[in-house]
Structure 1
Amino acid sequence: DAARRVNALLLTCGAYDAAGDFAYRIGLPVKTGVGGGIVAIVPGVGTVVVWGPELDAKGNSVLGAFALERLVQLTGWSHD
């Protein structure tokens, strides 16, 4: 139950002002940081960490978000 609550919280606000965009594009609970790192939780599977130094206007890694988006498309870990 605690894990579900944490995942819901990360899905809705783990990427700050870009949380809605991340939820739509990636569909996984994430926590982003201004150091360029992104931690994504794949429920029932594990975690994935990506990093890229270039940040977008909202302070999230540009390449990290792209990598996660491609990964979920290729693995089917999230919706289309």
Structure 2
Amino acid sequence: MKALIETIVTPLVDHPEDIVVTEAEEDSKVVYHLTVNQNDVGKVIGKNGRIAKAIRTVVYAAKTESNNRIYLDIM
């Protein structure tokens, strides 16, 4: 899932070397924290959050075998 997130975000940013995806597993959910360069945050979020919503939709649709819910935080 980390590779999928990085693959989606890399073409959107000017500083792809600053992309960091961390995974935190909690009770019944898995949270992915996406961190990008401060100058690229607006590009990843997009106008009115459209790009962020699209990224989340793809990530949620690519659910793994486990029944855990998946969340994506963009920082």
Q: Using structure 2 for the length normalisation, give the TM-score.
A: 0.30
- Greater helix fraction, Structure 1 or Structure 2: 2
Q: Which has the higher contact order (CA 8 A, sep 6+)?
A: 2
Q: Which has the larger radius of gyration?
A: 2
More strand by share: 2
